Amino acid sequence: MSIEVIKAGIADSIQDEGRFGFQHLGINPNGAMDLCAMKVANALVGNALNEAVVEMGFPASTFRFDKPALVALTGADFTPKLNGRNIPINQPVLVASGSELKFTKVKHSAWCYLAVHGGFGLTEWLGSYSTNKKANVGGVEGRFLKKGDRLSFRRQINNSAIKVFPWRANVTEFYEGSVPSQTNVRCIEGNEFDWLTKKSQKDFLKRSFIISRQSDRMGYRLEGTALKQSKKQELLSTAVSFGTIQVLPNGELIALMADHQTTGGYPRVAQVIAADRSRLVQCSPAEKISFSFVDIEEAEDLLLKQEQSLSRLQYACKLMLKEYLVFL
């Protein structure tokens, strides 16, 4: 019971919510770039929301299913095709044995997620299945997927047909707040924001920045107006997290991503709120983004609203899947 990678992508890996409580040992959390998309995929196939999934960039891997499976694709739309026919994202799909899944063209966004009913048979490390490339552990040997890799299923589906189930997750609320030409990302003011000159403080909030092509799972570099400090100050290396925005010595910004280092020595001018991280990570190179500040109370309320929506989706999907899974 497995799927086989018959053609490798460029940055595909196993991810879940990440591993926490080990940064003091130099072990970064890792985890999915877009946690909302990961959780939606799991909800659609009846899994726990934190079950491990395959995270894909583009070009993505091509997979062959050795056994039937109930799957869902979420996040980026890479024009998925099952045996040459288009299948939807954000909707559960029953896949027949011998089927081939490939991704042909980017329609929107940067990271796509594949969940399978019951989850994958993987080895846990420090409470997580997420791939840690620095330590070469987690996921599949702590690396990106390559041709010939097989991912086993924990649960067997007894069905030979291909079927798209008739319900779909509405994910617009997880990415709302943007206009077609620009994504606005809400932040909390960083500890060293007041190190910037008054003009640079205004530039951070009034000007647009562009996602650089020098961006990956460690950090998104942001091109735009160079920000200046009011005076040169030394910052001891201090804790950073997913979404920390730092000012580099040349005045450019970097937003730290899921594979961020555990500490950093650059000024922290802002912290992307957890409810907006999915919106940021799904931006592709050359896309424009802007920033605005909210207080901690609003950030907490927005995250709570998001988690409640995911819980409602999970409950609804379990109810709808219940009658179908009896026959699978």
- What is the Rg, in whole angstroms, of the alpha carbon atoms belonging to the chain? 20
Contacts of 11 (CB under 8 A, 6+ apart): 56, 57, 144, 216, 217
CA dist 215 and 325 (Å) reads: 41
Q: Which two tokens stand for residue 2?
A: 């497995």
The pTM of this model reads: 0.96
CA distances from 86 to 23, 80, 247 (A): 42, 6, 43
Contacts of 180 (CB under 8 A, 6+ apart): none
**So what's the pLDDT on residue 99?**
96
Q: Counting runs of H as helices and runs of E as strands, what totals does the chain give?
A: 5, 21
Q: Which sign, positive or negative, has the C-alpha torsion 249, 199, 231, 268?
A: negative
**So what's the pLDDT on residue 180?**
55
Q: What number of other Cβ atoms are within 10 A of residue 198's Cβ?
A: 9
**So what's the pLDDT on residue 303?**
97
CA 307 to chain centre: 16
Q: Which sign, positive or negative, has the C-alpha torsion 40, 44, 48, 53?
A: negative
Look at residue 56 and give its three-state secondary structure: strand
**What's phi and psi for 40, nearest 5 deg?**
-60, -45
Range list of β-strands (E), 9-166: 13-15, 53-56, 62-65, 69-77, 80-82, 85-86, 93-95, 100-103, 108-116, 150-152, 163-164
Look at residue 35 and give its three-state secondary structure: helix
In which element (H, E) is residue 9 found? none
Instruction: List the one residue out of 45, 18, 76, 313 whose CA is nearest residue 153.
Output: 45
What averages of pLDDT result for each successive group of 10 residues across the chain (328 residues)?
93 96 89 98 97 98 96 98 97 96 97 97 95 94 97 87 91 76 92 97 97 96 95 84 96 97 93 97 95 98 97 95 73
Q: Which two tokens stand for residue 59?
A: 């070009």
In which element (H, E) is residue 199 found? helix 198-206
**So what's the pLDDT on residue 1?**
65
Domains annotated for the chain, with CATH where assigned, are 2-169+313-325 (no CATH), 183-294 (2.40.100.10)
CA dist 104 and 169 (Å) reads: 22
